[in-house]
Structure 1
Amino acid sequence: MSDKPVYAAKTDTFGAQASVLDTNKVLKNTYMLLGMTLAFSAMTAGIAIAVGIPPMGGLLLMLVGFGLLFVVNRMADTAKGLPAIFAFTGVMGAALGPTLSYYLSMTNGPQLVLQALGGTAIVFFGLSAYALTTRKDFSYMGGFLMVGLLVAIVAAIANIFLAIPALSLTISSAIVLIMSGLILFDTSRIVNGGETNYIRATVSLYLNVYNLFIHLLHLLAAFTGGDD
């Protein structure tokens, strides 16, 4: 009787174990880096609020952030990836300063921001836990989510000129749902080995959390009468 099947089975087992270890390492590094970048963004947002960066300054910083996003993706496989992602998230946090200043100036502003932060945390941890526990493959959602995101972006640009409040709320509601789906999608990719670079994985989850927070804050302000 040949021993080849036994050796093949052992090789498959070792390969599977190595794959699990690699996945766990990517997950650990991703969540650690995500926590640090979110904390860094919160710090730069606080500085932007204290300095009083105007809305136009926030818009310019957002454009710089988009430019840095391409830099991060290009450098994700090198040692320069870490400073690049902190530069990106730092700028994005500062860009959020004028928006937070606007909401904080409302009568119930601090409560709104805290509620948006709490809601974002609940959605993120809940969906991440579900994806990690079930280990389901949500890759089938990718095409639908990208189309939905593209439609939402086009609608948001159109609403800059149309200025329809109801459309603005619809867009924010859609983006909250899309970002929630992307949290499942991106976490699933890490769990199932579709994403092996923790810097790129962090960027994806960071953007999901960032946009989820902004649009959840908008909805809370509108439905509690703070965005009149």
Structure 2
Amino acid sequence: MAELNTIRSAAGTRAAQIDAGLRAHMNKVYGTMSGGMLITALAAWAIAGLAVTTDPTGATVALRDGQYLTGLGEVLYTTPLRWVVMFAPLAFILFGWGALMRRGSAAAVQLGFFIFAAVMGVSMSSIFLVFTPYSITQTFLVTAIAFAGLSLYGYTTKKDLSGMGTFLMMGVIGLLVAMIINLFLQSGVMMMAISAIGVLIFAGLTAFYTQDIKNTYVAHAAHGDQDWLDKAAIDGALSLYISFLNMFQFLLMFMGQQE
């Protein structure tokens, strides 16, 4: 009996350690994600501020009454560089992130994430030229509330969400193809359909990624590889960051008020 009690006590202690470690791990995930979001917001706001001027001297592109693109704005938004800025974050995710996760230290992976967040901010800066600051803020708050609820569901639900992960990723591929096609068609109706489907897909991915981050930690916590766990936290932060930003951008198509 004494031996059985010792085994139970050890198991309880181990479970408590995993729970404490999981909380710390999730705090790092959300903290890293929040840091990336702040960098993205500041980069987008700063670049948009540098891209627009009220001085028509030397400006060749007018946005609206009293506002013109600066030289930087013209380069970013009216030359082929805009395609580089638009697709650079996607190229990094597809071709750079995996290699960085395999070969880089935790510090290098975190730096890579923050650089990616800054580039994403440059890519998103044009929303400040199109939508009112109020509608951007309103959409961000709605996205934050929805994200919190979805992530909480993914963390607490007993339902296994792994099955829908593959389905949702296939949906993302289809969404990318549709968006590329619509770059040439410029169909407003198609864009609204893409946005509606996009919100649903990334809402599902938010719950899926949260559960996957939790399960990954629990499965590997006993191994004691702290460097790997640190990198896994940053990788999880990136997944949730991408889900949040995509939900925000697709919701902005519905809620955003244009200047």
Instruction: Give the alignment's TM-score, normalised by structure 2.
Output: 0.75
Q: Match of 1:87?
A: 115
How far 1:48 sits from its partner (Å)? 1.1
How far 1:136 sits from its partner (Å)? 4.3
Equivalent AA in structure 1 for residue 50 of structure 2: V
- Count of residue correspondences: 218
User: 1:147–1:71: structure 2 CA closer, same or farther, 3 Å change rule?
Assistant: closer
Instruction: Using the aligned pairs only, state the percent identity.
Output: 27
Whole-Å separation in 2 of the counterparts to 1:58 and 1:179: 25
How far 1:74 sits from its partner (Å)? 2.9
How far 1:33 sits from its partner (Å)? 0.8
SS at match of 1:193: helix
Whole-Å separation in 1 of the counterparts to 2:35 and 2:180: 32
Q: Cα deviations across residues 73-118 of structure 1 (Å, max 9, x unaligned)?
A: 4334612112111100000011101233122xxxxx2232122112
2:99 to 74, 92, 95: 74
Equivalent AA in structure 2 for residue 85 of structure 1: F
The answer for unaligned runs of 5 or more in structure 2 is: 52-72, 219-228
Asked if residue 214 in structure 1 is aligned to residue 249 in structure 2, the reply is: yes
Greater gyration radius: 2
Asked if residue 198 in structure 1 is aligned to residue 233 in structure 2, the reply is: yes
Instruction: Give the alignment's TM-score, normalised by structure 1.
Output: 0.84
Q: Are the equivalent residues in 2 in contact too, given 1:61–1:94 (CA < 8 A)?
A: yes
Matches within 5 A, 1:131-150: 131-134=154-157, 136-150=159-173
Equivalent AA in structure 2 for residue 17 of structure 1: A
Residues 72-81 or 137-146, more deviating: 72-81
How far 1:58 sits from its partner (Å)? 4.3
Q: Match of 1:65?
A: 89
Equivalent AA in structure 2 for residue 32 of structure 1: G
Whole-Å separation in 2 of the counterparts to 1:155 and 1:63: 15
How far 1:34 sits from its partner (Å)? 1.0
Whole-Å separation in 2 of the counterparts to 1:144 and 1:114: 31
Q: Match of 2:47?
A: 48
How far 1:8 sits from its partner (Å)? 4.6
Q: Are the equivalent residues in 1 in contact too, given 2:150–2:206 (CA < 8 A)?
A: yes
SS at match of 1:80: helix
RMSD: 2.5
Q: Match of 1:106?
A: none
